[in-house]
Structure 1
Amino acid sequence: MSRVIRLLIAYDGGNYLGWQRQLQGRTIQGELEKRLTALCGQVITLHGAGRTDTGVHALGMVAHFRTATTIPLVAFFKGLNSMLPGDIRILAAEPAPSDFHSRFSALAKTYRYDFFTGAVMPPCQRQYRAHFPGPFDPHRLHSALQTITGTHDFSSFERAGSRDKNALSGRGAVRTLFAARCFPNLGQEECWSIRVTGDGFLRQMVRILAGTLITIGQEKTAANAMAGILAARDRTRAGLTAPACGLFLEQIAYSPRPFQP
């Protein structure tokens, strides 16, 4: 009889071509499936809650798999960590109901984007925050953050060509953001974070939102421009796609209770 195991995973995405397995190149899913297959003695398919891009990090990715092995649960925590490279870690492992799905059972995801606005980027931070040198006023983002909160068509913040826009099924580019804020990071004046929580995100949506918000904070885009950008449903109206290194998948929320690490 098979059982479903749910994993809470953290990783540094700098050395990987994103989450999703590929025919060539290292990926997070590929590295995990390789070790799980060896551990379980059967081919394991791991289902993640999302697909982070090349260079994106995670503090709380959730994934699940089905296995017939009866090895103790601790093997998927301590045992798996002993087999994995140091930039991927299992934070927790627990049994899940047979109908649980990491992606489809999720109620919300939280992403954080970190960036530095000082003139010279500290070398030890360059792989974990983006560099946007110049004055930055977080108060200019107040209206924009309020505008993107709620249910909207986020076509202007979707990577071009990432979705078949002629498809009749699904919800298209409509997503709901429950919260969006900008705040100082690490207690340093020139270190900032943008955090967004929503019921789902389009391809590169958070990075495009971050890039647009940062240009507003740096007075390169009008403070009241967000409503027009959102209404246009046109990728060319939004700002740049912020670099992948600053993006972290922080948390995925489930019901009726959160993951117990």
Structure 2
Amino acid sequence: MTEQPTRVLIADDQALLRGSFRALVQTAADLSTVGEAVTGAEAVQLAHQRQPDVVLMDVRMPELDGIEATRRICAAPETAGVRVLILTMFDLDSYVYSALRAGASGFLLKDTPPEDLLAAIRVVAAGEGLLAPTVTRRLIAEFSRREPVAPLGAELNLLTTREREVLGLIARGMTNQEIAGHLTVGLGTVKTHVSHLLTKLDARDRAQLVIIAYESGLVTPRRSGEGRNRLTGVEE
């Protein structure tokens, strides 16, 4: 039985960019476009109507910006399964932090190579979180300036020592393959740990695991004069 293509909704107020993204998505046999939104409000409406797998969401849009549109899509039970991939010309700290707090599963710059954007759509559709390397560095820097906002709770207390260690490595931006190599375990074992983390912490994807790890204080980015990650014992 042939798998259905990943359904993509494009939200951008610039017609040229929408057309470019649409043409790019349509070059991939495993992806298809299901609509285009010009405003954030329209993106929310179409997400409810078309039920895409992934929304390519611009940050700066009229009526409703991409951050608020993302928040409304991710918070609504009717669109809980929709993943949002933020695309922007700007990698400002506030955008990254706000987008992920709103529930976005990924954040990429619009100058990302076409093949990398297609790969990102597939990664996000599969339930993985994705951040451009420069964005990851900025996000960790942002967390280093903030105090934990959600002290360690009952959910985190349910984690095993190994699960906490895996969570720490995810928060550092490691892939499953890199975590497997770091811990000298099989890839299947890492995937099982990640699955347990998502379930126990009620997280949508890896991006939310990163948010939880830092906002809870379980993982603390190294500040000036500090040495190691208190969770993993590894240099940040």
Same fold (TM over 0.5): no
| TM-score normalized by the length of structure 2 | 0.28
Between Structure 1 and Structure 2, the one with more helix by share is: 2
Between Structure 1 and Structure 2, the one with more strand by share is: 1
Give the structure with higher Rg (CA). Answer: 1
| TM-score normalized by the length of structure 1 | 0.26
